[in-house]
Amino acid sequence: LECVAVLKGHDDRVWCARWSPNGKRLATCGGDKSVRIWEKHGLEWVCVETLDGSHSRTVRSVAWSANGKLLASVSFDATTCVWDCSSGEFECVATLEGHENEVKSVGWSPSGNLLATCSRDKSVWIWEADEDEYECVSVLPDHSQDVKAVRWHPNEEILASASYDNTLKIFEEDSDDWACTCTLNGHESTVWSLTFDSDGNRIASCSDDKTVRIWQRYMPGNDQGIPTPDNTPTWRCVCTLSGHHERAIYDIDWSSTGYLATACGDDHIRVFAENPDATTPHQPSFSQITQEKAHDQDVNCVSWSPDGQHLVSCSDDGLAKIWKLQL
Amino acid sequence: MSTTLENAAPQVHSRAPPRPELPQDNDDDVEDPFDAREIFDLIRPINDPEHPLTLEELKVVNEAQIQVDNDKNRVRVEFTPTIPHCSMATLIGLCIRVRLLRALPPRFKVDVAIFPGSHASEDAVNKQLADKERVAAALENSHLLDVVNQCLSINTS
C-alpha cells in the first residue's frame, strides 16, 4: 500500500470516510461535529465543503445514495441529516428524528428508496424516501444491545446489522413487514462492522474479539443440505481469520475486485485475498497480502474506491489517508 | 446517584511515599521510560465518587495492578471496587481512563479493567470501558463530564 494523499482538516478524531459512487468525492465526519467533502484538484485532495452546524454532537458516519445525489449523516445527537447535492451545493433537506440516543450507522438501499439507521437504543429503523419526505416504515427491536452498523445487500432489499450483543442479524421484507430472518452467532465480543461481497452471497464481519468471520448464504433446498428454517435463506460461518489483529477491528470493506480490508485499533490497515486453491466456496481460506501502520492512533474506518484501486482510511489521529493498492 | 452510601465505612489505607529521586532524574539527556509507578502517580489522587477519599486511600488502585510496556506503547490498569456490587465501578473506570487519556502521549493504548473476581458485573463493566465509541459518547454528556472532572480535580488536602 502506498499513501497517495493525506486529508487534513478535522479538529478531532475522524470516524468515517466514504467515496461517492463515481469515486470523485470523499465524505468524512468525526468528533468535531462536522462533515467534510473532499475532491481531487490536480494531484491534491482538497476540502471543498464543510457541513457544520447541523449536528450538535459527534457525527458518527455518512453514506452516499447510489446515484451520488444524496448524502446521509448520523450523529450522537440522535438525528440523521439528509443532504441534497444535486445542485452542486449541499443543502440539508431532511432531519430524521426518532432514535432515543446516539445513531451509529446509516445506509441507502441499492434502489435509493430506503434508508436504514441504527442506534445505541438497540433498534434498527427503516425509512422510506419519497422526494424529500422520509417516513419510518419499520422499527426493528431485535438486537438486545447497542447496534453498531447497518449495511444493505448490493442488489437485493436485504439489510444486515452488527451489534454490541456479539451477533449480526439479517432483515428482509415479508408481505409488507420487515422482520429478522436470521441471527449470525459466533463472534465472542462486539461486532463493529460488516461488508457484503460484490454478488451478496457472503458477508465479512469484524469484531472486538480480534477476528474476522466470513458468512456464506444458503438458499432453501441448497445442495449442501444446510437446513433453512421457515424456508428462508440462512447464513453460516465458513471461515474465521484470527491471529492477524492485535486489538479490536473497527471496520471492514470488501472491494469490487475481491480484496478484504480491515481497520484496526492497533493502528494498522490490512488487506486479505481469498486463496484460489479452495475447491468449494463452502471452505474458503484467506491470506493477508499486506499490512501497513497507517496511522498514529486507532484506525476507525476503511473503504475501497468503487474501482477497487484505492483505499481510504481514517483515524483517531484526526487524519484521513488515501492508499493505492500495488500488486 | 443515591443519597445513602453503599459502603458507608470503607477501610482507609495509607498513601504511598513520594517516589525516591534519582540523580539522573534531572538529566535531560536521560530518557525516562513510562513505568508502573508513573501511571500510579497519575491515578492515585483521583477522588472516589462517593467518599472524600482518593482511589489510593481506598485501595481501589495500587501499583502492583498496573502493567506498562513502554516499547509496545501499552498500559493496563486493573482496579478493585471496594464492594463487589459497587454501582460506581463503571464511573471509576471511566475516570481512570479519562485521566490517562489526558495525561499520556497518544501513542499509548490504554486498557482499564476490573481486577479479576472483584466485582459481580465484571464482564459487563469491562466491555463498556473497552468500547471507545461509548466512552466518547459518554464524555459528550455534560452532566457525566462534570462528575468525571470533579473526581479528577486535584485533591490538595
Interchain CB distance below 8 Å, B130 and A316: no
Q: Given CB atoms, is A104 within the 8 Å cutoff of chain B?
A: yes
A98 Ramachandran zone, left/alpha/beta (phi>0; psi -120 to 50): left
Q: What DSSP designation does A311 have?
A: E
Query: Is A254:A260 a contact under the CB 8 Å cutoff?
Result: yes
Q: Residue B136 is nearest to which of A31, A146, A208, comparing CB atoms?
A: A31
Cell of A248: 479490536
Cα end-to-end distance, chain A, whole Å: 9
**Residue A104: closest CA among A131, A129, A122, A92:** A122
Question: What average pLDDT does this structure show over B83-95?
Answer: 94
Mutation for testing the B interface, residue in A207, A247, A317 having most B CBs under 10 Å: A247
Identify which of A265, A261, A255 has the alpha carbon closest to the alpha carbon of residue A241.
A261
The whole-number pLDDT of residue B2 equals 47
Can you tell me whether residue A67 is helix, strand or coil?
A: coil
Query: B87: which 3 cell numbers?
Result: 454501582
Are the beta carbons of B109 and A265 separated by less than 8 Å? yes
A247 contacts in chain B (CB < 8 Å): 109
Asked if A297 lies within 8 A of B106 by C-beta distance, the reply is: yes
A231-to-A174, A183, A247 alpha-carbon distances in Å = 12, 15, 38
Asked if the C-beta of A189 comes within 8 angstroms of chain B's C-beta atoms, the answer is yes
Query: Is ipTM strictly over 0.90?
Result: yes
Whole-model pTM: value is 0.95
Place of cell 453460516: A236
pLDDT at B156 over 90: no
Residue A27: the pLDDT is 98
pLDDT by position in tens, chain A (length 327): 999 999 999 999 999 999 999 999 999 999 999 999 999 999 899 999 999 999 999 999 999 999 999 999 999 999 999 999 999 899 999 999 999 999 999 999 999 999 999 999 999 999 999 888 999 999 999 999 999 999 999 999 999 999 999 999 999 998 889 999 999 999 999 999 999 999 999 999 999 999 999 999 999 999 999 999 889 999 999 999 999 999 999 999 999 999 999 999 999 999 999 998 877 778 999 999 999 999 999 999 999 999 999 999 999 999 999 999 988
Task: Tell me the C-alpha distance between A19 and A31, whole Å.
Answer: 19
Q: Give the DSSP per-residue string, chain B.
A: --SS-SSSS----PPPPPPPP-GGGG-TTS-----HHHHHHHHTTPBPSSSSSBTTTTTSS-GGGEEEETTTTEEEEEE--SSTT-TTHHHHHHHHHHHHHHHS-TT-EEEEEEPTTS-TTHHHHHHHHH-HHHHHHHTT-HHHHHHHHHHHS----
User: Which residues of B fall below an 8 Å CB-CB distance to A?
Assistant: 106-107, 109, 127, 130-134, 136-137, 140
Closest chain A residue by Cα to residue B140: A57
Nearest to B39 by CA among B89, B92, B103: B103
DSSP A79: -
Q: B5 phi and psi, to 5 degrees?
A: -75, 135
Nearest CA in chain B to A57: B140
Q: For residue A208, which phi and psi values (nearest 5 degrees)?
A: -60, -20
- Residue of A238, A179, A235, A176 lying closest to A213 (CA atoms): A238
For residue B30, what pLDDT is reported? 78
Q: What is the dihedral of CA A12, A65, A95, A80, to 10 degrees?
A: -50
Whose cell is 445525489? That residue is A69
Nearest CA distance, A76 vs chain B (angstrom): 7
Helices B142-152 + B89-103 axis angle, to 10? 70
Distance CA B56, CA A260 (A): 47
CA distances from A120 to A82, A123, B89 (A): 20, 7, 21
- To probe the interface with A, which of B104, B126, B133 has the most A CB atoms within 10 Å? B133
CB within 8 Å: A146 and B127: no
Edge-to-edge strands of the sheet including A168-174?
A147-152, A158-163, A168-174, A177-184
C-alpha cell of A82?
Answer: 439528509
Taking the C-alpha atoms of residue A180 and residue A199, their distance in angstroms, rounded to an integer, is 21
CB-based contact, A55 to chain B, within 8 Å? no
Q: Which residues, 6 or more positions from A66, have their beta carbon under 8 angstroms from its beta carbon?
A: A21, A108, A110, A111, A112
C-alpha cell at A242: 484470527
Which of A24, A28, A17 has the alpha carbon at shortest distance from A68? Answer: A24
- The pLDDT assigned to B82 comes to 92
The β-bridge relationship of strands B74-79 and B109-114 is: parallel
> Rounded to whole angstroms, what are the CA distances from A122 to A60, A115, A151, B95, B123?
16, 17, 16, 26, 19
Give residue B7's pLDDT.
82
Distance CA B157, CA B143 (A): 26
pLDDT tens for B21-65 read 877 777 787 778 899 999 999 999 999 999 899 999 999 999 999
